[in-house]
């Protein structure tokens, strides 16, 4: 089931790129960050094209909860401790400026996108931590204060209130801007060399190339795969639940998110690292909580999202690598893709025009932060763990034991394979190695997908690529479509 955004807004299809063209700027990715950046560059007088692997806003933009806010969890106390107060103040200002930039753009363009100003609340059980966060945010110039008066049914002892924040319909907003841009859909960039981007049917030569495709797929230089991981989260849209006055996010373990959209209440939660899947069911968790907190409500939609998480919790926005002048990147937005997209568009537009921007150092992809080193080492350890698992872990399941609608890892002709059994009983085996860097994929029972625990690539139950950094489908040459596999596959050693 798609998000309520994709169900209530249709964006017209665009043709794929065919042939060769030259332009001043090329943007890879037509999500919020890519469209905003392309629009800003075009407004500055540059010729711009956007290359999209699938559909406009077809990735994480259509799955956001669409909160536009400088309230980014328990971040400001941590930023002050890690970077100092001046750097933390720049982060706060960049994101609060992004909120205002959305409002200004909506006013200038006359965009009807269900924009609503709301307070953003950070709630939880630890009053001391919340009070410290409120004080840190206030010191940095944000409109934040501590309160105990929050009328939500989720247990809490207090909250941090950020005034002057907003929520909207992201696709209604993005559609207006996209209609003013040259965008090619179904045009996945296969290679990037110097100033040349190559797709299956064409190529683009550009002075400036912006990678705004969620997770950069060019591994070297940059090595972004070693500097962040991806996390998933889940959302229910509930009809008949009492409205909440604001946008809410919990802190601590097992936290939940709330916001309204019209008569619907959006309940989010169940977050985890991509590939670290359980049989417990994240949607089932949200449904249990919905019955507990909103017993009169009915589910009308459910969907999930994925976010890139850098170790120091600050996005990478700026030059892709010092060895590749003319390349730029915008990634690592954590769970705050809307405000980060606007901040990225503003910063990258200034950089490409040769203008100074006060936030360049803060978001620099080449920054050296000793506090982030443990996180970088952890990412490397996670990749090693997955590699070891691929070579040495013996599958616990046999194909004959996999029920309809489920998947698992088995041995196939002496090699590991992922097998999905469809509702008719037919088995669909795929190579269990992620084509990105070879990590062992894991089955996600909530979404019926094969997920990479190292870098977050995802594939559907038949092995077709959903999202990168992988660029190709899984090898499914072993697929037979039969209701059973040979005896050597049915048995697990």
Residue whose C-alpha is closest to residue 232's, from 444, 80, 55, 483: 444
Alpha helix locations (H) across 119-231?
127-139, 170-178
pTM tops 0.85, yes or no: yes
Place of tokens 């949200």: 286
CA distance 445 to 329: 33
The tokens describing 158, both together, are 């207090």
- Report the 10 Å Cβ neighbour count for 418: 27
Each residue's pLDDT, cut to its tens digit, for the chain (493 residues) gives: 689 999 999 999 999 999 999 999 999 999 999 999 999 999 999 999 999 999 999 999 999 999 999 999 999 999 999 899 999 999 999 999 999 999 999 999 999 999 999 999 999 999 999 999 999 999 999 999 999 988 899 999 999 999 999 999 999 999 999 999 999 999 999 999 999 999 999 999 999 999 999 999 998 888 899 899 999 999 999 999 999 999 999 998 788 999 999 999 999 999 889 888 766 689 999 999 999 999 999 999 999 999 999 999 999 999 999 899 999 999 999 999 999 999 999 999 999 999 999 999 999 999 876 655 565 556 556 555 555 554 545 455 566 678 888 888 888 777 788 889 888 888 889 988 999 988 999 999 888 999 999 999 999 999 999 988 999 999 877 644 443 343 333 333 2
Q: In order of start, what are the domains of the chain with their CATH numbers?
A: 4-64+171-226+313-367 (3.50.50.60), 399-490 (2.102.10.10)
Which parts of 78-157 are beta strand (E)? 116-124, 144-147
Give bridge partners of residue 306 from the DSSP assignment: 232
């Amino acid at each position: 089931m798609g998000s309520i955004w994709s169900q209530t807004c249709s964006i017209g299809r665009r043709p794929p790129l065919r042939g060769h063209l030259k332009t001043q700027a090329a943007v890879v990715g037509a999500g919020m960050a890519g469209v905003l950046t392309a629009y800003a560059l075009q407004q500055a007088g540059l010729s711009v094209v956007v290359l999209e692997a699938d559909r406009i806003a077809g990735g994480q933009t259509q799955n956001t909860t669409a909160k536009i806010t400088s309230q980014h969890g328990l971040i400001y106390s941590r930023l002050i401790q890690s970077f100092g107060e001046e750097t933390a103040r720049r982060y706060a200002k960049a994101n609060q400026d992004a909120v205002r930039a959305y409002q200004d753009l909506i006013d200038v363009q006359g965009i009807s996108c269900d924009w609503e100003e709301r307070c953003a609340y950070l709630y939880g059980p630890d009053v001391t931590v919340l009070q410290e966060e409120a004080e840190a945010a206030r010191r940095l110039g944000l409109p934040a204060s501590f309160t105990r008066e929050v009328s939500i049914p989720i247990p809490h002892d207090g909250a941090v209130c950020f005034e002057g924040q907003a929520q909207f319909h992201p696709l209604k907003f993005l559609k207006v801007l996209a209609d003013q841009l040259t965008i090619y859909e179904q045009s996945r960039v296969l290679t990037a060399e110097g100033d040349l981007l190559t797709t299956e049917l064409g190529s683009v030569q550009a002075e400036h190339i912006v990678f705004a495709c969620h997770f950069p797929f060019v591994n070297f230089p940059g090595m972004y795969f070693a500097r962040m991981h991806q996390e998933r989260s889940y959302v229910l849209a509930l009809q008949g639940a009492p409205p909440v006055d604001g946008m809410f996010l919990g802190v601590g373990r097992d936290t939940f998110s709330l916001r309204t959209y019209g008569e619907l209440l959006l309940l989010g939660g169940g977050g985890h690292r991509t590939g670290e899947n359980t049989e417990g069911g994240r949607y089932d968790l949200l449904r249990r909580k919905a019955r507990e907190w909103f017993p009169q409500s009915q589910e009308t939609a459910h969907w999930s999202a994925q976010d890139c998480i850098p170790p120091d919790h600050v996005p990478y926005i700026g030059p892709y690598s010092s060895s590749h002048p003319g390349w730029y990147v915008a990634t690592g937005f954590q769970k705050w893709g809307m405000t980060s997209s606007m901040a990225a568009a503003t910063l990258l537009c200034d950089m490409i025009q040769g203008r100074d921007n006060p936030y360049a150092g803060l978001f620099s992809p080449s920054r050296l932060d000793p506090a982030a080193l443990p996180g970088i080492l952890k990412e490397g350890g996670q990749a090693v763990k997955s590699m070891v698992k691929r070579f040495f872990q013996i599958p616990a399941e046999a194909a004959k034991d996999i029920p309809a609608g489920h998947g698992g890892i088995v041995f196939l002709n002496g090699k590991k394979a992922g097998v999905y059994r469809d509702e008719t009983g037919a088995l669909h085996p795929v190579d269990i190695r992620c084509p990105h860097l070879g990590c062992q994929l894991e089955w996600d029972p909530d979404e019926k997908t094969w997920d990479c625990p190292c870098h977050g690539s995802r594939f559907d139950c038949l092995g077709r690529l959903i999202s990168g950094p992988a660029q190709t489908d899984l090898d499914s040459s072993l697929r037979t479509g039969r209701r059973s596999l040979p005896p050597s596959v049915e048995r697990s050693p």
